[in-house]
Amino acid sequence: MKATISIIGGDSHEFDISTETYADLLKIMGISPNEVVIIVDDVPVPHDSPVTSAHSKLLTVLSGG
């Protein structure tokens, strides 16, 4: 299956997937799971969820001190 992950306000990345989780794809993209929220069908999903949707979004989390 092909899956596209779009970074809101940024680039999109396309992957050929079989049993990967979102954490696996984030690692390939060089993104820390602590930096983003994964959104599928307008609902946040855990990083260790298997990728089952053809289209997902990443929302960058900002924090400061």
Tens-place pLDDT, residues 30-57: 999 999 999 999 999 999 999 999 999 9
Residue 38 maps to which CATH number? 3.10.20.90
Model confidence, pTM: 0.87
Lateral strand order in the sheet of 55-60: 12-16, 2-7, 55-60, 36-40, 43-45
Nearest to 58, CA basis, from 14, 19, 15, 11:
11
| Helix ranges restricted to H, the chain | 22-29
Question: In this structure, is residue 49 part of a structural domain?
Answer: yes
Give the number of C-alpha atoms closer than 13 A to the C-alpha of residue 55, restricted to the C-beta side: 3
CB atoms within 10 A of CB 57: 18
Confidence band of 62 (pLDDT split at 50, 70, 90): confident
Question: 3-state DSSP call for residue 50?
Answer: strand
Q: Which domain does 33 fall in, by range?
A: 2-60
Question: In this structure, is residue 36 part of a structural domain?
Answer: yes
Question: In this structure, is residue 32 part of a structural domain?
Answer: yes
